[in-house]
Amino acid sequence: MALFGTDGVRGLANKDLTAELALDLAVAAAHILAEKGVFQSTPAHKPRAIVGQDSRASGEFLEAAVVAGLLSAGVDVYRVGVLPTPAIAHLVAESGADLGVMISASHNPMPDNGIKFFAKGGGKLDDALEAAIEARLGEPWERPTGNGVGRVVDDQSAYEQYIYHLLGSLNTSLHGLKVVVDCANGASSEVAPAVYRRAGAEVVAIHNAPNGWNINDGCGSTHMDDLIAEVKKQGADLGIAHDGDADRCLAVDANGNVVDGDFILAILATHMKVPAVVGTVMSNLGFVKAMEGTGIKVEKTAVGDRYVLENMLANNHVLGGEQSGHIILREHANTGDGVLTALQLMQVMAATKKPLAELASVMKRFPQVLINVKEVDKSKLDSAEKIAASIAAHEAALGKSGRVLVRASGTESLVRVMVEAEDLTQAEKIAADIATVVKSELK
């Protein structure tokens, strides 16, 4: 099984993702990038890496291991502490650093952790580079000595640099808007409330007191009940939910209705008047139809914001994203940035003087049913003929009024069965039927 998933390496910290593995990954990444000509390490000129983490306790020992690996490979490390994943991507691009490393498992439960690499320029590594790194783990190598080893610097300026970048994306004050932000007790706990206030909004922050253990625990973009309740209690104009590393943004309107990534993408695309927008195979059919109705072309990629970005770069698109809330605004960033997305969404509200519910009416969401089938061997999915036959039969019955998507998760050990249809009951029945076949065939 491949070590790298849809978004870096993830696993149960200190069991699947150990300090030893983290150190080896850092060393292998340094070697591969050096061989590809991304940088050259000499005593006179050492490459630079920026290393950040989310608020998980396990990030402390994993950061130490990653830093040790990079230093031993002759790479200087700028350690920036707890910051969102997109902050690391921005800092790598802005500073001209040769490598970025983010230690985070994003929306996963606290016991998990992960490692994401960013290449020079701030983009995520492509599949070929990740495969090359994995292939070189644990290899013998000639270690630098003396002044050939790297040095570490604690970069105290990174937080303000990131805030300055975010505020620079705005041309409208957010004065008059009241927002509740759920920081998931994660990497956005300080930066998100601070930047929304500096942009002019009145801010109420919840789940913004990380203690190492409470990240994503009943809060954030995967558990939005607290945010919905607080928006109603506060009489706020909207709520914003981030995940543990703040590369996602979901919203709640003043009535407590969830506004997911498809709605946010539709709002931004319509306001920006883009000719095309990039989604994924998980984009809701209602989003696709709404964009087509306004003359905006929708291009679809595999799930993962790096695949969205690849399409955007190849076709010169400026806007793309995922239903999960990863939105890429290429004018300002080259990866999903939840805080940036929230700012841009609130800017549309401020500029148009329209409530979020009215803006979200640009699309009608097709009922969607998602079943996560656990305890199955997802590696057998592509060769399971009975599953393929079940999918084909249901797709034929739906025609153009719905769709079926069955895929192995890139970040968890499960298979996702997603069905969309104009009728919820029909979607639920089809999803349950296919999930039963998946469970039977992949057990």
Active site residues: 106
Helix 285-293 vs helix 261-272: crossing angle, to nearest 10? 10
100 and 89 Cβ atoms separated by less than 8 Å: yes
Task: Tell me the C-alpha distance between 87 and 91, whole Å.
Answer: 6
Angstrom distances, CA of residue 117 to CA of 52, 85, 283: 11, 10, 26
Angstrom distances, CA of residue 364 to CA of 60, 134, 268, 334: 44, 43, 15, 29
Task: Tell me the C-alpha distance between 127 and 38, whole Å.
Answer: 16
Angstrom distances, CA of residue 208 to CA of 174, 212, 230: 21, 12, 14
Beta-carbon neighbour count of residue 425 at 10 Å?
Answer: 10
Task: Tell me the C-alpha distance between 151 and 138, whole Å.
Answer: 22
Of the candidates 426, 273, 280, 281, the one whose C-alpha atom is nearest the C-alpha of residue 362 is 273
Strands (E), 166-296: 178-182, 202-206, 238-241, 250-253, 258-259, 276-280
**Three-state DSSP class for 284?**
coil
